[in-house]
Amino acid sequence: MRAAATDEYRRLEAELPGLPVTWSGSLSWRAGDSAPEAGPGQKIVDAATAATLEPNLLQPPDWAVWAPGEGAVDPVGVTERLIEGARDHGAQVHPGVPVTAIRRDAAGRVVGVETATGPLSGATVVLAAGVATAALAAPLGLRVPVDPSPTTLFRFRAPAGLVRTVVNTQDFDLRQVATDRIIAAADSPEQTLAAIRSTFRGAASVELLSTRVGARPMPADGEPIVGPVAGVPGLYLAVMHAAVTLAPGVGRLVARELVDGTVEPALAGCRLDRF
């Protein structure tokens, strides 16, 4: 599923025009390390090529891994476009309404959810609540081994075109998400800002706009937990890392299982009963 992620995003982009995806390729390196072997869809490039791909680099690395088929997404923008597309296809969306419990009938079948504004009914409940998945499943007698894995995302104001690709180094995972915006996954805002300014020419005006700490849902074995739950009819789980990367592919497979009644081979190793 990870290998097919770029193809799945291109499919989704065709279905949802305006999906905020930038097909910029990615450039990765580590200071002081020897060049690794190129993987599928990658090639090793020298300093001159790295400088062509990222012309604002102050000191291009001796080698870098170039993956021309990769891209970047704005997770919030993608989520908003998905919700908009769902509404266009008839979905009812209840923003800002927390789910407090999963409802079952007298026979034990899941029939909907309880929310802060009242019950919502459904023939199937897809529990895709990230780090809250385990707590919502526990009253049903289910143990879903998912723990929070904190990560920090910094958003900066930056000159247009400062970063051309997705740049991954020992200091940050950096991408341009709008004309004057870049985001970085890293540990420290001060260190990240200093690293950006020391890596790119013209970065003196880069300014930190916001810091968000997200709790990524991390299954115990690192692999997605997706599928119906034996013993709890009407309940379907979908929780994973990296969810932004896998979302289009997993969403397509989940839809096939729920709408068409198929059993998708790609999800065979993702069921809860493996634990």
Contact 135, 210 (CB under 8 A): no
* Amino acid identity at 142: L
Contact 56, 200 (CB under 8 A): yes
> What is the model's pTM?
0.88
Dist. CA 112–CA 235, nearest whole Å: 9
Looking at the predicted structure, is the pLDDT value of residue 177 above 90? Answer: no
Cite the DSSP H helix spans in 69-200: 75-88, 133-137, 189-199
* Amino acid identity at 134: A
The whole-angstrom distance between residue 195's C-alpha and the CA centroid of its chain comes to 24
Q: Given pLDDT bands bounded at 50, 70 and 90, which one contains residue 176?
A: confident
Q: Which residues in 246-261 are b (16+ Cβ under 10 Å) and which e?
A: bbbbbeebbeebeeee
DSSP bridge partners of 101 = 114
Residues 83-128 have pLDDT tens digits of: 999 999 999 999 999 999 999 999 999 999 999 999 999 999 999 9
Residues 222-273 have pLDDT tens digits of: 999 999 999 999 999 999 999 999 999 999 999 999 999 999 999 999 999 9
